[in-house]
């Protein structure tokens, strides 16, 4: 499959702009996205370490003074994307959105470092990057967990990265859509609208965004007055793993990690409170409306990736995960197919996403080798059959969304080339 490895590299290089990489080569996402860039850096690390570090460097140039790393950086302001830089109306030197995205940089950087191929100049750069990531994580701890629960909140579904997941449905239904919203979507003109979120979803996304803009993205006010506030299992799993990987990085550079270590302990303890022993599943929590959220989403299994120190819980999760897509040819669907909210083709309401498979694979490696290998094999087979699309049907592997999707190419490289 050498050809496909070359094709994956070319996909990244074709999507590359000055110091950063677009999520795809069409006009759907004409900017730099936070977690996309993390996955993209991992892909570059398979063949060009300078590009890998540059991708992260560029993203961190957009870090706000308070530590937040935005979910989008608008390096090019001349696009049809909505919401664009004027709709957000924020950012420092670089125009950006006013919300964040799953913090995967520490995890990615650790993997890059473990290859042991960086030269001294690159290592000096990695130390600087590590300090910025620490500031980002401290921002989460300070502003997204003011009650010191060891679990952080997201204040917009876009922060999760799984925008229109049914996880948010009940919380979103409660949002009173602002009157006279005037905006023009571009996404559903570029991609089959059946694959994209609905207009009512966008009305709500824009309403939350406008509220955050009104309070000038003040992080304390944002938490207190938010229209949407959820402690999500998947997001917190990614953050817990990233904190563990950050400690590893800080240790490597003799930097202080006591605060992060303390936070990890608190998270480990309180994460288990989100476990429903009877059902054998984790649930998310709507903080705004004080409701538990039980949606069978693949992101709930990211707990495996977080490496919680609990053998029983991990064992039960793996058992359930084996049943999650037992009737489908391709896995893992973003939502369990027998659930009423499942939609085979609509973005995060059912399709298979390669980054989800990657998180699960990473989480299984040290717990169930045979299962982890089959996840890896099936994911590679899906990409080899269907190409580097954005997402896929779990029923027949139909590719959907954008083609030449950077993180699908990147994670293909990581799965094929990196041994562990
Ligand atoms: C989009 O534009 O669909 C993005 O997912 C928002 O971050």
307 given a catalytic annotation: no
Tell me, what's the pLDDT at 124? 98
- In this prediction, residue 91 carries a pLDDT of 74
pLDDT exceeds 90 at position 313: yes
Q: What is the predicted pLDDT for the residue at 392?
A: 98
Which of 51, 48, 23 has the alpha carbon at shortest distance from 37? 23
Q: How far is the CA of 230 from the centre of ligand 1 (A)?
A: 18
Mutational pocket test of ligand 1: of 158, 160, 165, the residue with most ligand atoms within 8 Å of the beta carbon: 158
Distance between CA atoms of residues 20 and 8, nearest Å: 16
Measured by CA distance, the residue closest to atom 7 of ligand 1 is 158
CATH of domain 2-19+119-127+142-417: 1.50.10.10
217 CA → ligand 1 middle, Å: 19
Q: By percentage, how much of the chain surpasses pLDDT 90?
A: 98
Determine the average pLDDT of the residues in 21-44.
97
Structure confidence at residue 93 (pLDDT):
80
How many angstroms is it from 406 CA to the middle of ligand 1?
Answer: 15
- Is residue 149's pLDDT more than 80? yes
Structure confidence at residue 1 (pLDDT):
63
pLDDT for res 110: 98
Q: What is the residue with the minimal CA distance to atom 2 of ligand 1?
A: 29
Is the CB of 195 within 6 Å of ligand 1?
A: no
State the CB neighbour count (10 A cutoff) for residue 243.
24
The 10 Å Cβ neighbour count of residue 82 is 13
Most distant CA pair in the chain, distance:
56
55 annotated active-site: no
Q: For residue 163, count other CB atoms closer than 10 A to its CB.
A: 18
Beta bridge partners of residue 335, listed in sequence order: 297
Ligand 1: residue of 35, 36, 163, 407 to mutate (most ligand atoms within 8 A of CB) is 163
Residue pLDDT, tens place only, 72-130: 999 999 999 999 999 999 977 899 999 999 999 999 999 999 999 999 999 999 999 99
Choose, from 286, 328, 390, 414, the residue flagged as catalytic. 390
Structure token digits, residue 162: 């799984």
User: Mean pLDDT over all residues of the chain?
Assistant: 97
Q: For residue 399, give Cα distances in angstroms to 156, 187, 384.
A: 27, 17, 11
Identify the pLDDT of residue 319.
Answer: 97
**Nearest-angstrom CA–CA distance, 273 and 260:** 20
Q: How many Å apart are CA 418 and CA 359, to the nearest integer?
A: 15
- The reported pLDDT for the residue numbered 19 is 98
Nearest atom in ligand 1 to 72's CA = 7
Distance 163 CA to ligand 1 centre (A): 7
Spatial neighbors of 13 by CB under 8 A, at least 6 apart, are none
21's CB contacts (< 8 A; 6+ apart) are 12, 15, 32, 36, 37, 40, 55, 406
DSSP assignment letter at 183: -
What pLDDT shows up at residue 420?
53
Question: Sign of the CA dihedral 284, 243, 71, 391?
Answer: negative
Q: Give the pLDDT score at 154.
A: 99
pLDDT in tens, 345-400: 999 999 999 999 999 999 999 999 999 999 999 999 999 999 999 999 999 999 99
Q: What is the DSSP letter of 353?
A: -
Cβ proximity of 400 and 393 under 8 Å? yes
Backbone angles phi, psi at 75, to 5 degrees: -70, -30
- Tell how far the Cα of 197 is from the centroid of ligand 1, in angstroms: 10
Q: φ and ψ at 48, to 5 degrees?
A: -155, 95
The H or E element containing residue 33 is: strand 32-33
Distance from Cα 26 to the centre of ligand 1, integer Å: 14
Q: Whose CA is nearest to atom 6 of ligand 1?
A: 158
| Index of the ligand 1 atom closest to the CA of residue 101 | 7
Helix ranges, 78-156 (H): 85-88, 105-114, 120-143
Q: Which residues pair with 333 in a beta bridge?
A: 352
Angstrom distances, CA of residue 419 to CA of 114, 376, 415: 11, 11, 8
Active site residue: 145, 163, 187, 344, which one? 163
In ligand 1, the atom with minimum distance to the C-alpha of 33 is 7
| Cβ atoms of 280 and 316 closer than 8 Å | yes
Ligand 1 neighbourhood includes 158 CB (under 6 angstroms): yes
Tell which residue, 347, 348, 345, 344, has the closest CA to residue 297.
348
Put residue 307 in one of left, alpha, beta given phi > 0 → left and psi -120 to 50 → alpha. Answer: left
Residues 192-230: pLDDT tens digits?
999 999 999 999 999 999 999 999 999 999 999 999 999
Residue 418 confidence (pLDDT): 77
Using 50, 70 and 90 to split pLDDT, how confident is the model at 186? very high
CA of 319: how far to CAs of 149, 163, 277, 281, 384, in Å?
28, 27, 14, 11, 28
Beta bridge partners of 315: none
Q: How far apart are CA 188 and CA 269, in angstroms?
A: 43
Cβ 36 under 6 angstroms from ligand 1 = no
Tell me how far CA of residue 9 lies from CA of 34, 48, 263, 392, 407, in angstroms.
20, 10, 38, 21, 11
The string of pLDDT tens digits covering residues 255-303 is 999 999 999 999 999 999 999 999 999 999 999 999 999 999 999 999 9
* pLDDT level of residue 56 (50, 70, 90 thresholds): very high
Given a contact cutoff of 8 angstroms between Cβ atoms, the answer to whether 256 and 188 are in contact is no
Which two structure tokens, joined as six digits, stand for 375?
């996840």
Strands 90-91 and 230-231: unpaired
* Ligand 1 pocket member 163 (CB < 6 A): yes
Could you tell me the distance, in angstroms and rounded to a whole number, from the CA of residue 82 to the centre of ligand 1?
Answer: 9
Which residues, in sequence order, are bridge partners of residue 293? 284
Bond prior to 83 in cis (omega within 30° of 0): yes
The residue-averaged pLDDT of 44-55 equals: 98
The H-or-E segment that residue 87 falls in is helix 85-88
Domain ranges in the chain are 2-19+119-127+142-417
In this prediction, residue 337 carries a pLDDT of 98
Question: 93: which 2 tokens?
Answer: 């030197």
Nearest CA to 298 out of 218, 234, 213 is that of 234
């Amino acid at each position: 499959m050498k050809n496909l490895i070359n094709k994956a590299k070319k996909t990244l290089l074709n999507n590359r702009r000055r110091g950063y990489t677009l999520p795809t080569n069409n006009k759907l996402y004409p900017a730099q996205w936070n977690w996309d860039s993390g996955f993209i850096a991992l892909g570059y690390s398979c063949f060009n370490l300078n590009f890998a570090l540059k991708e992260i460097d560029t993203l961190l140039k957009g870090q706000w003074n308070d530590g937040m790393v935005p979910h989008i950086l608008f390096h090019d302001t001349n696009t049809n994307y909505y919401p664009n830089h004027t709709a957000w109306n924020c950012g420092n030197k670089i125009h950006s959105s006013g919300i964040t995205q799953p913090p995967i940089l520490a995890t990615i950087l650790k993997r890059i470092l473990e290859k042991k191929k960086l030269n001294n100049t690159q290592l000096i750069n990695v130390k600087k990057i590590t300090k910025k990531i620490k500031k980002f994580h401290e921002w989460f701890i300070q502003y997204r967990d003011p009650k010191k629960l060891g679990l952080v909140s997201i204040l917009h579904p876009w922060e999760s990265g799984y925008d229109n997941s049914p996880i948010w449905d009940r919380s979103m239904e409660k949002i009173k859509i602002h009157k006279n919203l005037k905006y023009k979507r571009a996404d559903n003109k570029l991609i089959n609208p059946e694959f994209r979120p609905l207009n009512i979803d966008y009305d709500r996304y824009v309403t939350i965004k406008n509220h955050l803009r009104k309070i000038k993205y003040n992080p304390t006010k944002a938490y207190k007055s938010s229209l949407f506030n959820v402690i999500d299992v998947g997001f917190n799993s990614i953050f817990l793993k990233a904190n563990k990987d950050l400690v590893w990085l800080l240790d490597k550079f003799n930097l202080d990690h006591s605060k992060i270590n303390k936070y990890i302990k608190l998270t480990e303890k309180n994460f288990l409170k989100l476990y429903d022993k009877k059902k054998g599943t984790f649930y998310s929590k709507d903080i705004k409306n004080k409701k538990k959220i039980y949606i069978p989403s693949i992101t709930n299994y990211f707990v495996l990736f977080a490496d919680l120190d609990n053998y029983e819980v991990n064992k039960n999760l793996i058992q359930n995960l084996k049943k999650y897509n037992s009737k489908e040819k391709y896995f893992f669907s973003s939502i369990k197919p027998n659930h009423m909210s499942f939609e085979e083709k609509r973005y995060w309401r059912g399709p298979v996403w390669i980054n989800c498979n990657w998180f699960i694979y990473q989480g299984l490696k040290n717990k169930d080798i045979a299962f982890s290998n089959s996840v890896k094999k099936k994911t590679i087979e899906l990409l080899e059959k269907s190409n580097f699309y954005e997402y896929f049907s779990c029923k027949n592997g139909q590719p959907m969304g954008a083609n030449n999707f950077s993180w699908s190419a990147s994670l293909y490289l990581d799965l094929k080339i990196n041994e562990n």
